[in-house]
Every structure is written in structure tokens, then in C-alpha cells.
Amino acid sequence: MPKDLAVGIHDLSFATGQLVLTHETLAAHNGTELGKYHVGIGQRSMSVPAADEDIVTMGAAAAAPILARHGADRIRTVIFATESSVDQAKAAGIHVHSLLSMPSATRVVELKQACYGGTAALQFAIGLVHRDPSQQVLVIASDVSKYELDQPGEATQGAAAVAMLISADPALVRIEEPSGVFTADIMDFWRPNYLTTALVDGKESVSAYLQAMDGAWKDYTEQGGRAFEEFAAFCYHQPFTKMAYKAHRALLESCGREVDEAEVVRAIGRTTAYNEDIGNSYTASVYLGLAALLDGSDDSDGSDGSDGSDGSDGSDGSDDSDDLTGRAIGLLSYGSGSVAEFFAAVPVPGYRSQLRSEQHREAISGRREIGYADYRERHEQAFPVDGGDHPAPRETTGPYRLAGLFGHKRVYEPR
């Protein structure tokens, strides 16, 4: 195995719930000033799963375009990261493996550590590819965040899945080797097995996040990572999008740099575009930020280089100053409890031709808006636990659906 082998994200795709509750609707119900949502926490709406959607259907919907483009022959491992698991024993990824008709010669596992699980899956996948560069690993991070009604966390809810194909010689971004990590035993956010909604200490959670970020950054620098000024942009885990701004200001201060608000916006502004409309997606959150950043650098005016450029300078034929080719992006992944990791991703030449910008924007714009009464009823719905047959209403317009619970068994099917 070559020591300088490049491994990273070969392809990235995301899916979200079919329904949406706007914060205008939520504010009208509870009397909250809308600015507290739009400005205070930086959220505009939240994705809500349809009655026949969950982490499996979203995960399969996110992964399907990747398999359609690349096939499954080289995928020997599927790692499913979530904190919204549908079973205490069986990996949710096995349902996805079945829905996508993947080869039986595949290992499938599920990982958990709050919102950090997606990054753990990514790093484990990189290790597998380093061991055998001919193989690829499918990583899926899928979650539905849910809090008690009329509690502060309610406004940050959301649902989404990100699928990433990890490969040698990646076509999207390569992941650099130095990585900074941090762990501390903190009860800032948790969900006991007997509860369906998470418990959170808001102030403690913000404090724990910033402590973990600082520790991960310091470890990153001690491991020989890049200097702060070498990064073109930063992607942070976003339990709410304004947390990314808080985190970046704290990192600037930790590095002894002046906090210039224009510079903060330049560094992270584009990374919040998807999360502010989707809400918190736990394990998928930081990678929705990466998708938003990369899609925002897309040549969205439709130019194909027909202005005479032949791309001989190594670019894709566009002189767009937003091109991130070869420019380091810092990623900070945080999971309550708590674990954090800081590492760098570098977009490779031609990455913009691999983007799924239109698909991602349609996933958000195509959601059906629901009213508060409808949302509240959905929030409280749950399958009976009597072992009977309980079909799910046919509702999703996505490619896969949860057919129902039959004899304690979740059954999934193509729509």
C-alpha cells in the first residue's frame, strides 16, 4: 500500500423527510418572536418524516443515487451511523442493503456516539480502504431529531440522511491524515432506552461543545495538522446553525486571532444553507454543511467552459473564484456525551462535476408544508407494541417506504 495513497469521499448524496414545518408556523402557535428562530438560533424550518419514513427509508434514498452512478461491486462494507436506531440488535443498514439489492458478500454494521457517529464511520471506512484500496465503503449517517413538545429543543428538530462513498483516489474530497480528537464524560444531551425523545441541558451542551472543539483543535495541532490560516472554510456540526458561528468565534479566540464578523461569515456562511431549512440531523449534520459548502461552489450559472477556456490550467474550465479545488476545509464533528474530532478535507480537481447540487436543492424545495396541528399529531404517533400487524399509511413520495410493523418486525419496500 502506497504511503501517500489519497483516500476520501468519492461521492456524497443526501435525502430528507417529505414534510416541512416552518418556524413561522411554530412561532404563530407558541407566541415566540420569529426573530428568535430566524436570527437567534438561525433556523427557518424543520424537516418532518412522513408516516412511512424513518432513518432507513431516508438512508436508502440518500444512497441509491450513489449506487446508480458507481454500482455496488466494489462496496464490501456498509457502515450506518445513527442515534435514532430502529432496533437494539439489528443494524438499520441491513434494511438499506436489502432495499438496494446489494451483494450478499458485504459486511454491515451500525455505529453510535450521538452526533459524532457519522465521523467515526467515515474514519473507520478510511482505514478499511487503506487496508485494501480496491474496496469501497458506503457510509450512511441518518437521524430524526425529536424533543418534547413545547420545550426549547423543539425548534431545532429535523430529519435527514447523508450517504458517502469512501474510496481511494476520490473524485470529491480527500481526507487528510492528521486528526485531532477529544472525549469527556458529560451529560449534556442523552436519550435513555425508555424514552422516545432526547433530554438536553442547553447551556451545558453549548459549553461541552466548545470545550470539546477546543480540545480537538489543540490535539489536531499537536498531531502536525495545518495552521489556522491554511483553511479556506470550516464546517461545524450544527445542532442549530448559529452554533457554527459560536464555534468559529471560539476557535478564532483560541488561536489568538481577532474576531472579525465578516471573516466569520466568509469562513462558514455557506455551510449553513441546508441545515437552516432541514433542522438538526444529528450524525448527518456536519456533512450537510459540507454538501452546502461544495454545492455553493458549483458553477450554478450553467457555464460549461464554452467561453473559450479548455481547462488546461487543471480546473474544470471555470474561473469561478468560489472554486475550492486544492483548498483545505476544516471539519469539526461533535457528539454529546462527549466526543469531538477535527480534521481536514481537500476538494480534488474536477470535484464540481461530481456534485449533486440540483438534486439536493430539490430535496428541500420539494417538501410539503404542514400545519401545526398536523405536526403535533405526527409528533405523538407511534406504532403499538402489542406484536400485531400495523401497516403504515401510504404517504411518502420518496423511492422507499416503511410498510409497517408486523409481528414486531419492521418491513420496508420500494414505493
CA distance 14 to 58: 8
Distance CA 41, CA 156 (A): 8
Active site residue 390: no
Per annotation, catalytic residue among 115, 154, 235, 276 = 115
* 291 φ/ψ angles, rounded to the nearest 5 degrees: -60, -45
The catalytically annotated residue of 95, 97, 237, 248 is 237
Query: In this structure, are residues 85 and 57 in contact, taking their beta carbons and an 8 Å threshold?
Result: no
Active-site residue, 83 included: yes
- Are 396 and 53 contacting, i.e. CB atoms less than 8 angstroms apart? yes
Three-state secondary structure of the chain = CCCCCCEEEEEEEEEECCEEEEHHHHHHHHCCCHHHHHHHHCCCEEEECCCCCCHHHHHHHHHHHHHHHHCCCCEEEEEEECCCCCCCCCCHHHHHHHHCCCCCCCEEEEECECECHHHHHHHHHHHHHHHCCCCEEEEEEEEEECCCCCCHHHHHCEEEEEEEEEEECCCCEEEEEEEEEEECCCCCEECCCCCCCCEECHHHHHHHHHHHHHHHHHHHHHCCCCCHHHEEEEEECCCCHHHHHHHHHHHHHHCCCCCCHHHHHHHHHHHHCCHHHHCCCHHHHHHHHHHHHHHHCCCCCCCCCCCCCCCCCCCCCCCCCCCCCCCEEEEEEEECCCEEEEEEEEECCCHHHHCCHHHHHHHHHCCEECCHHHHHHHHHCCCCCCCCEEECCCCCCCCEEEEEEECCEEEEEEC
User: Which position among 53, 83, 154, 276 bears the catalytic label?
Assistant: 83
Using an 8 Å Cβ cutoff, are 50 and 402 in contact? no
Contact yes or no for 351/171 (Cβ under 8 A): yes
**Residues with catalytic roles:** 83, 115, 237
